[in-house]
Amino acid sequence: MELSCLFHEREVLWMVRSLIRMEVVRLFSRWQPWVAFLLLIGVLIQGYEVFYPEPTIKVRDPGWFNVFLAFTKTHGYDLALLSVTLPLIAVMVAGDSLAWDLRTGFMHSILMRMNYKKYIMGKLLSVSLVTFVFVWIGEWIAFIYGMVRYPVLFPPAVSHGSTPDYAQSLFMDHPILYVMLIIFNTSMAAMAFSTISLALSTKIKNLYVVLALPWLGFIVIEFISQVLGSRFSPLNYIGQYFLSVFSYHTLEIPLAWTLLWVISWMTAYLLFVNHFKKGGKHGR
């Protein structure tokens, strides 16, 4: 019995591994992830340039002029575009993967070789992982770019209005860890958006709608939160939490994205599984 369980677990792991491999192959074979990568790096560089201080500021406040602060600011300072474009970038990586499988009928070929529950679990896991790693790597590349563009100096002292309010002590004491936290938050947000796309794919076959809806939803919810003056603003949660008047707790941002990820994961899983339980005709 124990042996058969072990065998079953190994079999499941193997199938998940093969789905991850499938996502990686797709990542390098399609143009959308490349565009997403260029967009990600582009908006991060744009963020650096928006923040790049005037020479007078450099003289006045050297604490401003360092890569750690610059990298933080690229995520939502002034006109930095990352927080506005991340939902779109994230879904372009692999968010339409399930929609492709359904649209082309490739899913049927997969389901002749794999149980549908394992398939959707593996799909959710592999797409999440690929998106997370993709954004994680993109962010690190952007940070390395920042090291070339800005001096690598530790922030000397708290400067009100410029030093982030979010996890301020971590920023001052361990700026590298702070950068990791920011990257983690952004990658988690990206992962949540791609999972929302997967959930939508269980009901919608149009690839463009699957890609655009999370972004449109983001804009609508942002508009509502602006009208209501709510702290639950997607824009703040993606990148403008550093200097927000709402003073977000260090754990609030990663937990919020984790929660959204789990909810969209469960929604996608239940919608997909429920369809097959009914014995419906999925896809074509």
Partner 1 sequence: MADEILVYEGVSKKLGGKEVLKQINLSISEGEIVGIVGANGSGKTTLLRLATGLIYPDQGEIRVAGKPVRPGLLGDLPVSLGVLIESPSFLPYLSGLKNLLLLASIRDQVNESKVRESIQRVGLDPDLRKPVKTYSLGMRQRLGIAQAMMEDPAIYLFDEPTNGLDHQGVEMFSEILTERTDQGACVVLVSHDQEEINRFCDRVYRMESGSLESVREKRVKGWRLLVESLEDVEKTLLLISGSQMSERKNGLPTVICKGTWKDEVELRYYLDQHGIQPVEIQVNAS
Longest dimension (CA), the chain: 73
Report the nearest approach of partner 1 to the CB of residue 29 (Å). 5
- Phi, psi (degrees; rounded to nearest 5) at 283: 75, -125
- Judged by CB under 8 A, the residue of 64, 71, 119, 178 near partner 1 is 119
Identity of the residue, 161 or 279, whose beta carbon is nearer to partner 1 in the bound complex: 279
- Kindly write out the interface string for residues 14-53 of this chain, putting x where it contacts partner 1 by CB under 8 A and - elsewhere: xx--xx-xx--xx--xx-----------------------
> DSSP states of 140-203 as a string?
HHHHHHHHHHS------S--TTTS-STTHHHHHH-HHHHHHHHHHHHHHHHHHHHHHHHHHHTT
CA 239 to chain centre: 11
Identity of the residue, 19 or 182, whose beta carbon is nearer to partner 1 in the bound complex: 19
Q: How many residues bind partner 1 (CB under 8 A)?
A: 35
Q: Does residue 174 touch partner 1 according to CB under 8 A?
A: no
Interface stretch with partner 1, choices 110-118, 157-165, 171-179, 237-245 (CB under 8 A): 110-118
Report the nearest approach of partner 1 to the CB of residue 115 (Å). 4
Are the C-beta atoms of residues 88 and 219 closer than 8 Å to each other?
no
Q: Does residue 112 touch partner 1 according to CB under 8 A?
A: yes
> DSSP states of 48-63 as a string?
HHHHPPPHHHHHH-GG
Identity of the residue, 31 or 160, whose beta carbon is nearer to partner 1 in the bound complex: 31
Identity of the residue, 30 or 149, whose beta carbon is nearer to partner 1 in the bound complex: 30
- Provide the CB-side half-sphere exposure for 39 (13 A, CA): 21
230 residue type, one letter: S
- Judged by CB under 8 A, the residue of 10, 58, 60, 108 near partner 1 is 108
Identity of the residue, 104 or 169, whose beta carbon is nearer to partner 1 in the bound complex: 104
| CA dist list (Å): 190 to 120, 131, 148, 167, 197 | 19, 7, 26, 21, 11
- What is the distance between the terminal CA atoms of the chain, rounded to a whole angstrom? 39
Identity of the residue, 50 or 111, whose beta carbon is nearer to partner 1 in the bound complex: 111
Interface stretch with partner 1, choices 112-120, 168-176, 208-216, 248-256 (CB under 8 A): 112-120
Q: Which residues bind partner 1 (CB under 8 A)?
A: 14-15, 18-19, 21-22, 25-26, 29-30, 100, 104-119, 276-282, 284
